[in-house]
Structure 1
Amino acid sequence: MYAVVTLQDSDEVMVAPSHWLSTDKKQSYWPPFKSPEKCMEAVQNRVKPETGGKTWEKLNISFHKESVSFDKAKEGQKEITEQKERSFLLATGFPGILQRQRPLPTPSTSRMPADDKDDLLQMLRDIKSTVQENSAMLKKLLKENTASESPSSTSLPNKDIKTSPNLPLRTFEDVVRTEMELTNATTRQKYLKYLSRLGGFGAKDVIKNIMQQVLTDDLAKEFNWQGRGEKKAFSRLILTDVIRDAASKQSVLRADCEAEIKAYLWHRINQIGRKRPRVCEGVT
């Protein structure tokens, strides 16, 4: 038997032999090999989860389903991966990625062309792969820093330096990357902890401090709350939920949080608009 699982640390959907899983199916042994081919070989051959007599590390997982054969499990892996990718794209709602600026056809009358679907899924796989590579590199660097720095009685490492997210966001590509990262519970908690520490006096000050850390002014002017006109909808981002949670830790009510975010985005648009030079009778 083979199981289809999601590795919680990397959010990857993988196939694993059923006997690698713990009884409650919340953890699984995982091979320490760097080569993907060697890992795949270990899975297919259902090897004993140890190397040189040393048992492999257990990773936290989310269990999805079991199959009687490796090929059936791979089909399940592909199906679940595509479901997660579609859910992510629907959650972000960016025109040009999934929701194009035209009415969507109903399933009963027409379907998305196969080529468009494949291109769409491949685009998301590329984004997800980049996020996972960056995440793995960051974990490695943090681990090396932790090992090389031993705190003394007079000075302690600054935790914010190690755990602060990659902010502010400067482009829509940054937004897509961050939305992917925030589907992982651990990463979401890291963002929440960072933003909730920014502080402020009153709802307006708290939201201003958070938004200035989250978006550059040039990117902020491309958003409004509902996505009216040519702007993107800030209210539909996972990041917005994280901001709400961070603000609530500073005793900011949800309604006040949303009102201040709307005001902040409106102010950014008008502030940048006022900076543009006026044209009068053909002369700048």
Structure 2
Amino acid sequence: MYAVVTLQDSDEVMVVPSNWLSSDKKHCYWPPFKSTEKCMEAVQNKLNPETEGKLWEKLRISFLGEYGTFEKAKEGQKEIKEYEEWSYPLETVLPGIKRQRLESTQVMSNNQLQPLPPVTPASTSRMSADDKVEILQMLRDVKSEVQQNSTMLKILKDNTVSEAPSSTCVPSKNPKLPLRTIEDVARTEMELKNATTRKKYVKYLSRLGGFMPKDVIKNIMQQVLTDDLAMQFNWLGRGDKQAFSQLMLTDVIRDAALTRNVNRGDCESEIKKYLSYAAGRKKREQGGPGHEIPNVISTSMMDNQSEREIPWNIFD
């Protein structure tokens, strides 16, 4: 296990092994090495916090979170550093936010908000770890809502949503796969909020065949989205790509794969590979004569679906 902490003396956000933390998680042993590389090696190898039987120096810390692997801890460290770039303006209003929750009748006077007292940088440096964690969670929530709203605005702008007021909540009568655009994905995400529709997708995708995890996931992914669309995703949404792991559609794929004895770990691993190889498949497809394109669709899939329309009658 690894933890992400803030060193109180320097305000640096660091990754450390959990065995370096004190029992109350308010202090952390720190190696005496001058070399950055040697310190990093000590962290990755989770060395015992001692040299020749002498314990290392203890530093005061703020505990921010714990992770199962070093790689996940580094991702958490990066995320926290990014959010801390926003921390000062949020820290200045956080006392007002808390006061508004506790004294709402006093804050609102004659339908006007009382002005918040100025907060100095010195006071913000004394924020507790709980306050910082609350700020990070608030920012995560804001980021998630912005992403969802942006997707829905694209749908409305392109006029891809049906004129019926309830069309975003009720699955379309004849949905087609594979999905071809981000708007198709957003619309499907809305449809999958319907439990009945979700079960139908799971049942359909679980019937696409395959014996090994690679074949099962390949058959499902090919039926779910085109390579052009797959190229716009990666697992975590790094760079300028969308996060496939955050979709409800991904949970549907996991459930469908599980019915064919593909566990969660193998399912996620094969999805990551499939997304990362999308550009290569597209390149082979555009190669013209002399480039053999492998038959990547399982023979257990139905041959007469010219547009791969889901035969919803199989669910009846």
Instruction: Give the TM-score normalised by structure 1.
Output: 0.43
